[in-house]
């Protein structure tokens, strides 16, 4: 899932939403972003987390899953075996792994859900300065 770098600006008034070059949008995100400068709605080709179908989720979480597997599940399994073999250091590996799973998966889902909630709170859009805080 390579990300293309691009400059983000409003499609109506052309104002820059961020002074930095951003990674391209991921699939999951607000479908509508309202410009702080001109107050007009810009459509994105993104979908809210709750609106993603199973194919979208596989696409979004595919890369994440590999990272979680490597940094989360692998250390946990290693740690369990270490304890079975009488090595107390296995506890540390399990701790690292549990943190990896939490960080990689739950934090990401939590982030998506918070963005969904913000979108609803605003009434069907996210402000450009919320999506691209400077």
Q: Is 62 helix (H, G, I), strand (E, B) or coil?
A: helix
Q: Residue 12, interface with Zn ion (CB under 5 A)? A: yes
- Does 57 bind Zn ion (CB under 5 A)? Our answer is no
- Residue of 35, 52, 60, 94 interacting with Zn ion (CB under 5 A): 35
10 near Zn ion, rule: CB under 5 A: yes
Distance CA 7, CA 16 (A): 8
Q: What is the largest CA-CA distance in the chain?
A: 65
- Nearest residue (CB) to Zn ion, 39 versus 114: 39
Q: Which of 9, 18, 32, 38 binds Zn ion (CB under 5 A)?
A: 38
| Smallest separation (angstroms) from Zn ion to the CB of 83 | 57
Helices 90-101, 74-84: inter-axial angle, 10-degree rounding: 160
Q: What are phi and psi of 15, to 5 degrees?
A: -70, 145
Which residues here bind Zn ion, judged by CB under 5 A?
A: 10, 12-13, 35, 37-38
């Amino acid at each position: 899932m390579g990300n293309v770098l691009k400059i983000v600006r409003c499609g109506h008034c052309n104002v820059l939403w961020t002074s930095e070059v951003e990674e391209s949008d991921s699939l999951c995100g607000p479908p509508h972003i309202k410009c702080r400068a001109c107050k007009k709605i810009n459509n994105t080709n993104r979908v809210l987390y709750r609106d993603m179908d199973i194919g979208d989720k596989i696409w979004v979480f595919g890369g994440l899953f590999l990272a979680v597997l490597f940094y989360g599940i692998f250390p946990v399994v290693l740690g369990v075996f270490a304890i079975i073999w009488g090595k107390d250091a296995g506890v540390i590996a399990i701790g690292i792994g549990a943190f990896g799973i939490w960080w990689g998966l739950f934090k990401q889902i939590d982030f998506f859900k918070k963005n969904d909630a913000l979108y609803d709170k605003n009434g069907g859009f996210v402000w450009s300065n919320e999506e691209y805080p400077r």
